[in-house]
Structure 1
Amino acid sequence: MNSSVLYALSAAALFGASTPLAKLLGADMSPVLLAGLLYLGSGAGVLCVRCLRDRGWKASGLSAGEWPWLAGAIAFGGVLGPVALMYGLTLTSGATASLMLNLEPVLTALLAWVVFRENADRRIVAGMLAIIAGGVVLSLPSGQGASGMGSWLGPLAVAFACLCWAVDNNLTRKVSASDALYIAGAKGGVAGLVNCALATSLGARWPSVEVLSPTLLIGFLGYGVSLVLFVLALRGLGAARTGAYFSTAPFLGAVISIVILGESVSWLFWLAAAFMGLGVWLHLTEVHAHDHQHARLEHTHRHRHDEHHQHVHDADEPALEPHTHAHVHLPVRHSHPHFPDIHHRHRH
């Protein structure tokens, strides 16, 4: 299995597990404050890991042209998205919101294919639809229909949150070659501070240390580590495919709920599992190969010397593999199986 696929599925598993675990801790907590603390644990934890890795604070390594993409991703995914979702949840039922959240991978893929011109063949589209169908089926046991809908504003707010996260996913793809720890730490830190400040302004009461500590830990693992893996998956798979794999998170979260919370399993759960399994299989068995042209490209990311990395090192550059340094790809034309990764973002 491709390592980027493992990153995407692992990110989904960690994020999916965070939902039932957070539910155990946040029963008496403001949902806005809970979201803020989870993001805060994510940002603080990941940035601490980065400082330990680099033995101190190190510059981001982002180029001047990458900062607007990261700022946009933080604004849409870390600020507008969570606030819109929390507002929508106050005006609509949980069942309706669960169904609406399945819009995120759809909108992610549509933006990737239409706006950012990412490649997708019929097999990928079919796999995406199967995974989304599984998510829809999985959300049905919590309620049928839209009887709990307070007004059209609730579903519209949830749909807007999905659009924000879809924009976030595609903008993050533009900087996914950069340091994944810095990207995840920055997004989590800003989102955490904004949501905690918003919750405090709305009168939310902070939890005790006994609840606060595990909440921050869940945020670090379920949001922080998950986001690092998500960025690595974006680097190797592109936004649409990563979004499709990540949309298995509700199913994986349901598995955790069954094991930890002892929730019952209905036949709809197994139907959802079949749909999602079919979708993942369609993606895993994709073979995309054709003659393509690489333009000159200069960037920095962790790599090994393979068919796309044939360069000479300066004396001060690392020799052991894998390693990270700025390097240049010379123009080349060849044919081989590939994904829309950071080296294959060509038109079809």
Structure 2
Amino acid sequence: MDGDAGQTNKIGGRVLAAASVTVVLWASSFISIRSSGEHFGPGALAFGRLAVASLVLGVILLIRRGGIPPREAWLGIVTSGALWFGAYMVALNWGEREVDAGTASMIVNVGPILMALLGGWLLKEGFPPKLMAGMAVSFAGAVVVGFATSGGGGSSLLGVLLCLVAAVVYAVGVVLQKPTLKHATPLQVTTFGALTGAVVCAPFAGQFVSEVGKAPASATAQVVYLGVFPTALAFSTWAYAISRSTAGKMGSTTYAVPVIVILMSWLFLGEVPGWLALLGGLLCLSGVAVSRMRGKVREQAPVDPVAGPVGAEAEAAAESTR
């Protein structure tokens, strides 16, 4: 038993370390997107980032002889890759042209509540009162952010809406990725997901090449950074962690992202959200916290709203031993 407990703690420590790497690198991506977005269009930036990530991950996959994912995994890889890697990055890049990095990160982190909502709809698990209450609070927060950033014009409000779109596809991507990891390795899922996203963004390849020739070296270096670290590395550590945990639990770890983003944005960009936008962002995150609140402990652990019925009982039992 002691050996089993030690092994469990060791795995738990690795999951925590992987999640921490993901959170910090994803937070840094909001800063790099905001900065490099001055020189690259949303689609071009997404293509460049994914092209770099695909190259790096492809080389690692070949070196480690990771192989090709089995047939059962391809539907999840392609759909999550197109949405999470492709659509998410374009929407976020575009949104950050209109709102500051801190505000964008707070809006995008509505994602965990959307994961629970999708679980209630797609997996027929119902809509608990706390989920509906959390949705109402988060929606109110998004409205406050919209009013705070609109300034009487429509451009910043568009940025808020684009960040909400990014949150939606992020949530869908996680829901699709979790069961896919039962059939393929985290490296396979991340590599071919990034490649799928690059293919989706391929229409922007010509624009990217043109803008590289005009952009300063520092902006191009940031694109490379986005591809290597927040994408190739961070998405790999995320896939590793979520394959050994629950999607709902992993989603909650991203609550720390906005705090880190606001600090980094202040240090490197000199940007801090206004008080009203900050209040709206905090409402968004509070709604997520309300939706994830647990009731009294029951004898039987509840099924995770995102992981679904497939293997959910085993995950709940594993969580209870940690």
Short-chain TM bin: 0.5 to 0.7
Name the structure 1 match of 2:99: 94
Count of residue pairs the alignment pairs up: 295
Name the structure 2 match of 1:173: 178
Secondary structure of the residue aligned to 1:59 is coil
Structure number having the greater strand percentage: 1
Distance 1:196 1:71 in 2: 15
Structure number having the greater helix percentage: 2
Distance 2:246 2:254 in 1: 12
Aligned AA (1:173): K
Determine if the alignment matches structure 1 residue 76 to structure 2 residue 83.
yes
Q: Flag the structure with larger Rg.
A: 1
User: Are the structure 2 counterparts of residues 146 and 108 from structure 1 closer, same or farther at C-alpha, using a change threshold of 3 Å?
Assistant: farther
Distance 1:34 1:192 in 2: 11
Secondary structure of the residue aligned to 1:10 is helix
Pairing partner for 2:38 from 8, 27, 33: 27
Name the structure 2 match of 1:43: 54
User: Are the structure 2 counterparts of residues 127 and 230 from structure 1 closer, same or farther at C-alpha, using a change threshold of 3 Å?
Assistant: farther
Q: Return the offset for 1:146.
A: 6.6
User: What TM-score results when the alignment is normalised by the length of structure 1?
Assistant: 0.63
User: Are the structure 2 counterparts of residues 70 and 8 from structure 1 closer, same or farther at C-alpha, using a change threshold of 3 Å?
Assistant: same
Distance 1:284 1:107 in 2: 15
Aligned AA (1:147): G
Pairing partner for 2:230 from 206, 212, 222: 222
Q: Are the counterparts in 1 of residues 42 and 94 from structure 2 also a CA contact under 8 Å?
A: no
Name the structure 2 match of 1:147: 152
Distance 1:334 1:239 in 2: 11
Name the structure 2 match of 1:239: 247
Q: Return the offset for 1:36.
A: 1.9
Determine if the alignment matches structure 1 residue 8 to structure 2 residue 19.
yes
User: Are the structure 2 counterparts of residues 179 and 236 from structure 1 closer, same or farther at C-alpha, using a change threshold of 3 Å?
Assistant: same
Distance 1:202 1:42 in 2: 15
Pairing partner for 2:66 from 58, 63, 71: 58
Aligned AA (2:187): L
Aligned AA (2:23): A
For structure 2, the 5+ residue unaligned runs are 1-8, 302-310
Name the structure 2 match of 1:254: 262
Aligned AA (2:167): C
Name the structure 2 match of 1:338: 319
Report the more deviating stretch, 70-79 or 263-272: 263-272
Name the structure 1 match of 2:307: none
Aligned AA (2:38): A
Q: Are the counterparts in 2 of residues 287 and 337 from structure 1 also a CA contact under 8 Å?
A: no
Aligned AA (1:238): T
Distance 2:283 2:164 in 1: 26
Aligned AA (2:268): I
CA deviation vs aligned residue, 1:276-322 (integer Å, no higher than 9, x gap): 69988x97999967457xxxxxxxxxxxxxxxxxxxxxxxxxxxxxx
User: Are the structure 2 counterparts of residues 24 and 236 from structure 1 closer, same or farther at C-alpha, using a change threshold of 3 Å?
Assistant: same
Q: Which structure has the higher relative contact order (CA within 8 Å, separation 6+)?
A: 2
Q: CA RMSD in A?
A: 5.0
For structure 1, the 5+ residue unaligned runs are 293-328, 340-348
User: Are the structure 2 counterparts of residues 142 and 47 from structure 1 closer, same or farther at C-alpha, using a change threshold of 3 Å?
Assistant: farther
Aligned AA (2:180): V
Distance 1:35 1:102 in 2: 20
Distance 1:88 1:19 in 2: 11
User: Are the structure 2 counterparts of residues 126 and 162 from structure 1 closer, same or farther at C-alpha, using a change threshold of 3 Å?
Assistant: closer
User: Are the structure 2 counterparts of residues 275 and 31 from structure 1 closer, same or farther at C-alpha, using a change threshold of 3 Å?
Assistant: closer
Report the more deviating stretch, 156-165 or 143-152: 143-152
Q: Return the offset for 1:205.
A: 1.9
CA deviation vs aligned residue, 1:224-282 (integer Å, no higher than 9, x gap): 211112212322332233223224323221222233345568778699789969988x9
Secondary structure of the residue aligned to 2:198 is helix
Name the structure 2 match of 1:110: 117
Q: Return the offset for 1:159.
A: 4.1
User: What TM-score results when the alignment is normalised by the length of structure 2?
Assistant: 0.67
Q: Are the counterparts in 1 of residues 134 and 286 from structure 2 also a CA contact under 8 Å?
A: no
CA deviation vs aligned residue, 1:52-72 (integer Å, no higher than 9, x gap): 3x1xx4313x33222111111
Distance 1:255 1:151 in 2: 22
Q: Return the offset for 1:85.
A: 5.1
Q: Are the counterparts in 1 of residues 50 and 194 from structure 2 also a CA contact under 8 Å?
A: yes
